[in-house]
């Protein structure tokens, strides 16, 4: 077991945003979390990352309880998040953004190996390495955001709406890389409005509504579920 979330509750002031969420993700597995805007999906990722504190419940990673750990410790343990909206340092270069992702690396050879891997996934970033991040296209910025998280060499990658606003060609490119990193043994927790894409990339899925998980199962089974077809697949 890699990541185990047990009955977590999270509040924004008096509003309960997560109402007893439980889920598991294993090494090398991709799971998707779907739900309408406001369902609590982004709050879930922020909570796993240590950016939002729980009111009750527990989060365990590799037999260590992490729900009281600071976010930098969670990254050090092996969990990295790619936020919705990319969250880049737009006045810094592509290379500088990538190096920020590797700030916990102490050996230069580890950093160089990480850069080599990133440029293998996204060759265009190598050609843009001295360009300001803010001058990249939307798709290129998403590539950079994912790459910056990968520079930390996480065991679990948290992705928040990676295809939002991208062209079909760029969505296909992002999907290819998500598939590649999953095959390499990394676990991926994917929040994605494009449900068909999420199902194609993941083995299991969870459906959230107003802070609760209302449905879960293998993606092949969820695709056949009448509620999922009506609410998320246009059927």
Q: How far is CA 184 from CA 99, 111, 154, 189, 190, in A?
A: 22, 19, 12, 15, 16
Q: What confidence tens digit (pLDDT) does each residue in 57-79 have?
A: 999 998 899 999 999 999 999 99
Q: What confidence tens digit (pLDDT) does each residue in 188-206 have?
A: 999 998 999 999 999 999 9
Q: How far is CA 91 from CA 68, 88, 118, 136, in A?
A: 33, 9, 21, 11
Query: Residue 165's pLDDT band (boundaries 50, 70, 90)?
Result: confident
Helix, coil or strand: residue 191: strand
∠ CA 182-87-78, rounded to 5°: 40
Residues 28-41 have a mean pLDDT of 94
Query: Residue 105's pLDDT band (boundaries 50, 70, 90)?
Result: confident
CB 112 within 8 A of CB 126: no
CB 126 within 8 A of CB 176: no
pTM for the full predicted model: 0.92
Residue given tokens 């390495």 in the structure block = 129
């Amino acid at each position: 077991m890699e990541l185990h979330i047990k009955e977590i509750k999270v509040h924004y002031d008096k509003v309960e945003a997560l109402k007893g969420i439980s889920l598991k993700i294993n090494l090398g597995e991709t799971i998707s979390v779907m739900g309408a805007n406001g369902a609590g999906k982004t709050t879930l990722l922020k909570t796993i990352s240590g950016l939002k504190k729980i009111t009750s419940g527990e989060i365990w990673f590799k037999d260590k309880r992490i729900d009281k750990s600071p976010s930098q410790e969670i990254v050090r343990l092996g969990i990295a998040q790619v936020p919705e909206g990319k969250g880049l340092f737009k006045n810094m270069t592509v290379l500088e953004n990538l190096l920020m992702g590797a700030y916990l690396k102490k050996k230069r050879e580890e950093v160089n190996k990480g850069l080599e891997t990133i440029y293998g996934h996204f060759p265009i970033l190598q050609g843009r390495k001295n360009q300001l991040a803010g001058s990249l296209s939307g798709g290129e910025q998403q590539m950079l955001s994912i790459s910056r998280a990968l520079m930390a060499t996480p065991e679990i990658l948290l992705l928040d709406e990676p295809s939002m606003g991208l062209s079909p060609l760029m969505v296909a490119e992002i999907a290819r890389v998500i598939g590649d990193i999953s095959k390499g043994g990394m676990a991926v927790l994917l929040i994605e409005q494009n449900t068909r894409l999420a199902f194609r990339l993941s083995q299991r899925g969870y459906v959230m509504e107003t802070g609760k998980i209302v449905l879960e199962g293998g993606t092949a089974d969820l695709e056949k579920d009448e509620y999922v077809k009506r609410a998320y697949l246009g059927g």
